[in-house]
Structure 1
């Protein structure tokens, strides 16, 4: 938090350390009452929640905001005027919870009867409202429940998906035209993704893309006919359970077949398929010399060239044609009404083709393409990010790995990639491209991977030096930021995710300098104080925080001389800040430990009265999946807050090998070998933590959810003796059981990497669980990590006569929502309390 009074301390560093260790904290509220611990009930209290600020840009200076009373107001960022746009009474008429605007802003589609399907997909009802007549004009032809609804960018035509088929309305009053007729549950899905595309590729409930004016509409068709189904019981409340069946391609099995079509909305009976480039169809491979031919059109010439190079007698060189038909559709980006770019990915996900298609008046043809291959792992952080077309609408900007293995912005023209940014830091994503600038989020500031800021690069500038737009804004509170920019980036909402930051260690080589700052100082004073003390632990650099540093949302001016001006505070979470003054809150500690030659970032949540001379139980909160990031300068208010505040437990997380945003060398270290380094690094970090002197080595636990549950289980099953107990929620047991797109991205097919698949199972480590206490939790209706995984772990533990605890949540999916989630945290809390009881 920023304070107006700034005082520079004139004390020596050693005195500061003594003060921190020997003077216990006294907790009083403003009323004089003693502060109380943050309890588990507080964690589930809806009034103790961080607030965000919903905003939808209507233009370059106007935005909509739905207030707490349900009214939607139109704001003008330039004039600061606002007026009622949609009343809560209109929402109530159709019991709506959300809304969508037509391209011409003359109509609003109110969404109601939300019915969840999977993580992103759902069905809902839509009521069309005429803004000029202030009345509902929903056509009778619009089904009561649809699977997807989308207005065009211009006018008021819209498309929707019903019963897995796409329908197009040229305007609100027109009769719908059915674009597809072959849709069928679990077989053919038009305009909406199947399970694996929704979960692993699009992270969306739709697969429809309008051209810039709505002249054309692109849609994907997903064919699951050959995809094997996973089945599980839904117990419900009837006499007999029903069986849920979902097409789910597991590692090594048949993938979803995808096709991409384009429809002329003025003549919707005409469909054109955009086929993947020829290079995605198949390749001739020299099976005796391990070479793959690069072309498919003149392969005879290449065959002769290879044969002459390796075998003049032409009798030892054998060629085979390998089909690459298992392509993956990544993204669709329109440049104009008659030009579209599509990213196609191979099944191995180490080769991507950006194909640009043009409409020649009668058909769509491939104009040019750009190909990218990774030699060290997979493409992108998870998937290739969408491209951004330049002014000429042919060249484009793309985030991809540079020659040093860091993700940076590149300018692609005529098949050549030119880096726009560079350095040992990473671009997370491009936020917006305007006619004169690129806006992007990165961790460039201080080359610190746990920070994020918004940057701007002027196009045509040489050298292209990024300018940070958020680095100096509320620096005492905001070091993990993003932004939502208006149409032409004249204004933006700055999204600051908060940070606990008042006590700082900053390392310099092997020495550490330490600074203590009073509650009246900002980080500017920290930089000025220059109070040094020798580092007690040469392997770490640390940042402590005393909070609260809650999320902050502000409206920023980005125009000319006014650029960087804060126009208003949209949400500062002041109410929550006042509430939290009544609690004994933990402090945060950040730093790095040297593991396998890398500086690995960690964070610790320390109890309110933390003293280095004491010994504390430690809980490792782990995820550790490929490209994950658990450590960041974001405000943490979670289950760990309760554990630290009420139970005196230190809760720590570590980003080891395999984690993201620090370069491909770290991220790709676990390529084709999941369950190795990311698990080892958690255990190595624990050993480092023990050496800090304040960890009770006999009271250490680990827990995780999903991939984190897998890593926790693998660490517990390693038999190191480091952990006394652990918890796994919805863990993977064996990668053969998980979906093909995710698993093969990191492991390849089981047939091509059998040893790694065999060595990466929790099941094979079952006998080592006799040495630890283990709690296994899973939902029986988990469509993501199937209950099969926990069942197999349970079976293996029983076979080894391991005494363990388990809890199954009936008809609950991967996230265990509702009372089941509350019950889960109560159960885990009790388990940890039993685990950490001092020996009698």
Structure 2
């Protein structure tokens, strides 16, 4: 017997099946390779510009580079500021109050200034008062458009009194932080404007201020390049009720008073003029006028030139005549009427930030065709009532806890015309309290408002207004919460206090009238909560300490919550949560409302 032969093998079919299997496995492997994120390749070593980090794989490659700067102090040196120039790889940075310049990141730094003194003299940066009250930016240097020159401020606080902020935590003895802080009536910093030539021997040339402010205390509130060799500079006297707008020659340092801004062909010039807008009074607008029109006097001009165009911020603009007004951004985006804009360095594009009243969004526009999109505390002079869309803690209170919240812009708010802005600033305190109370009386007439349960809340200047309103009425408000209140303007910033109240030596009665400390006896039987961080560098705890001392003497009814070593803006997460809970609980108790804490849950530790 022998075994019968099996059926013949289908070698062709087997080969095809193997090819299919190999093909499928190849596709799977290729997919894994393509879709798996590439490994991070860290590039570090001597002779390199810094550390690069890239991601390999399908899609866009993201490259981040850390550039190494070498200030003279060594490895542990802290650079205060760094920024790119407008041409090539220009770079400037500030170290220990002095400015250093590099033509590119691999070049040796060139020291442009040598007058910096830690905490006293700084070049190219704002000190506290300039950042908070004058320039409103940390940077105090400006590149010319061709990158050939750099303008910068030198701010000297050598004679300015020092403020001492104690820090209590973390040691057996408290530590103290000192920094220059000019209060009302005290010595303010001296300021100078220099221009340094970057394309040649470094030569620092001071811009000479006009005679009207040269020998007096002064501020510089605006610097902008209008050509490669000319700057527009606004000088203010100490009281900030007189200004000089000058055009300074960067090559000579000579500054002349303002001149009209002409169009490129010389047929038109631009200036700001008040124009009537119905019963609401006059508003200042930028107007273009024929060059042959005779103008007797030019009061102020705020030029901002980009090439042959004039860019400005205004509530309406004038291109046909002073009575023809046109909104610049009204038709750019639907459901948006509150904007801010940032221009690209060459002014070809601008980023338009739509802030409300619809959902906020950001779009990029071409300056030649703006309609086409490209893919990508209630202080005077501020504006709280806008169409900007916001979603913060107050809005959460209103939407979750059945509370109605109202924001009020009193006199001196922006966008309200010449009649409002021309109010005697020394009366702003009493007039703003009167304005706020008038709004409250109107709100009390609304059918959905319980006029027996009205509370006040404010921070800094808003807290000051809350306490003044509480003192000006008799049991109108159930309670008030004041966070870091300004209680005496003699203790506050010189630039702010003197702008509205004048110098204390000449306006002693005005300061006394404006002070909350003089109203302590009126607060004796009122219910209010004070909250303050002990390390507040803006509204010093000294304000609350002076108030508390007087409240104790009259045996006033108040609650107090302090946050050790916290500043004007709370930083620690637990402090933020605690302050919010404290305020909600206080309002719950004061207004005898339904419990408000039910929906505020403790976040997980891992969050």
Q: TM-score, normalised by structure 1?
A: 0.58
The alpha-carbon distance between structure 1 residues 270 and 442, as it changes in their structure 2 partners (threshold 3 A), is closer
Q: 1:642 aligns with which of 396, 412, 421?
A: 396
The alpha-carbon distance between structure 1 residues 203 and 777, as it changes in their structure 2 partners (threshold 3 A), is same
Query: Which of 1 and 2 has higher RCO (CA within 8 Å, sep 6+)?
Result: 1
The DSSP-based 3-state class of the residue aligned with 1:640 is helix
Q: CA-to-partner distance for each residue in 1:140-175, whole Å, 9 max, x for gaps?
A: 457652111122211323221111112222333332
Please tell me whether residue 832 in structure 1 is matched to residue 587 in structure 2: yes
Partner in structure 1 of residue 254 of structure 2: 365
The DSSP-based 3-state class of the residue aligned with 2:192 is strand
Q: CA offset at residue 266 of structure 1?
A: 3.6
Please tell me whether residue 208 in structure 1 is matched to residue 141 in structure 2: yes
Counterpart Cα distance in 2 of 1:400 and 1:171: 45
Counterpart Cα distance in 2 of 1:660 and 1:766: 31
Q: CA offset at residue 766 of structure 1?
A: 1.2
The alpha-carbon distance between structure 1 residues 756 and 331, as it changes in their structure 2 partners (threshold 3 A), is same
Which runs of 5 or more residues in structure 2 are unaligned? 1-37, 53-60, 595-607
Q: CA offset at residue 355 of structure 1?
A: 1.8
Q: 1:146 aligns with which of 79, 95, 99?
A: 79
Partner in structure 1 of residue 99 of structure 2: 166
Q: CA-to-partner distance for each residue in 1:466-517, whole Å, 9 max, x for gaps?
A: 5445424554x32323444556766544322232xxxxxxxxxxxxxxxxxx
Query: 1:345-384, aligned counterparts within 5 Å?
Result: 345-359=236-250, 363-366=252-255, 368-370=256-258
Q: CA-to-partner distance for each residue in 1:694-722, whole Å, 9 max, x for gaps?
A: 32121110000111011011111223321
Counterpart Cα distance in 1 of 2:537 and 2:274: 33
The alpha-carbon distance between structure 1 residues 794 and 480, as it changes in their structure 2 partners (threshold 3 A), is same
Query: 1:708-727, aligned counterparts within 5 Å?
Result: 708-727=462-481
- Kept in 2: contact 1:151–1:158 (CA 8 A): yes
Q: CA-to-partner distance for each residue in 1:727-767, whole Å, 9 max, x for gaps?
A: 11111000100111111111111122221100111111112
- Kept in 1: contact 2:50–2:65 (CA 8 A): no
The alpha-carbon distance between structure 1 residues 791 and 406, as it changes in their structure 2 partners (threshold 3 A), is same
- Kept in 1: contact 2:50–2:66 (CA 8 A): no
The DSSP-based 3-state class of the residue aligned with 1:694 is coil
Q: Which has the higher strand share?
A: 1
The alpha-carbon distance between structure 1 residues 221 and 399, as it changes in their structure 2 partners (threshold 3 A), is farther
The DSSP-based 3-state class of the residue aligned with 1:497 is strand
Query: 1:187-586, aligned counterparts within 5 Å?
Result: 187-281=120-214, 324-359=215-250, 363-366=252-255, 368-370=256-258, 391=264, 406-409=283-286, 433-435=305-307, 437-444=309-316, 465-472=324-331, 475=334, 477-486=335-344, 491-499=349-357, 549-556=358-365, 559=368, 564-566=371-373
- Kept in 1: contact 2:504–2:511 (CA 8 A): yes
The alpha-carbon distance between structure 1 residues 826 and 754, as it changes in their structure 2 partners (threshold 3 A), is same
Counterpart Cα distance in 2 of 1:780 and 1:469: 45
Partner in structure 1 of residue 55 of structure 2: none
The alpha-carbon distance between structure 1 residues 766 and 389, as it changes in their structure 2 partners (threshold 3 A), is farther
Counterpart Cα distance in 2 of 1:823 and 1:161: 38
Q: 2:455 aligns with which of 678, 692, 701?
A: 701
- Kept in 2: contact 1:370–1:415 (CA 8 A): no
Q: CA offset at residue 625 of structure 1?
A: 1.9
Q: CA offset at residue 259 of structure 1?
A: 1.4
Partner in structure 2 of residue 451 of structure 1: none
The alpha-carbon distance between structure 1 residues 151 and 644, as it changes in their structure 2 partners (threshold 3 A), is closer
- Kept in 1: contact 2:272–2:300 (CA 8 A): no
Q: TM-score, normalised by structure 2?
A: 0.78
Q: CA offset at residue 356 of structure 1?
A: 1.7
The alpha-carbon distance between structure 1 residues 252 and 463, as it changes in their structure 2 partners (threshold 3 A), is closer
The DSSP-based 3-state class of the residue aligned with 2:450 is strand
Partner in structure 2 of residue 448 of structure 1: none
Alpha-carbon RMSD: 3.7
Q: CA offset at residue 195 of structure 1?
A: 1.1
Q: After superposing the two structures, state which structure 1 stretch, 140-149 or 731-740, moved more.
A: 140-149
Give the greater-gyration-radius structure (CA). 2
- Kept in 2: contact 1:670–1:678 (CA 8 A): no
The alpha-carbon distance between structure 1 residues 246 and 396, as it changes in their structure 2 partners (threshold 3 A), is farther
Counterpart Cα distance in 2 of 1:464 and 1:692: 38
- Kept in 2: contact 1:558–1:565 (CA 8 A): no
Partner in structure 1 of residue 537 of structure 2: 783
The alpha-carbon distance between structure 1 residues 814 and 831, as it changes in their structure 2 partners (threshold 3 A), is same
- Kept in 2: contact 1:670–1:676 (CA 8 A): no
- Kept in 1: contact 2:315–2:327 (CA 8 A): no
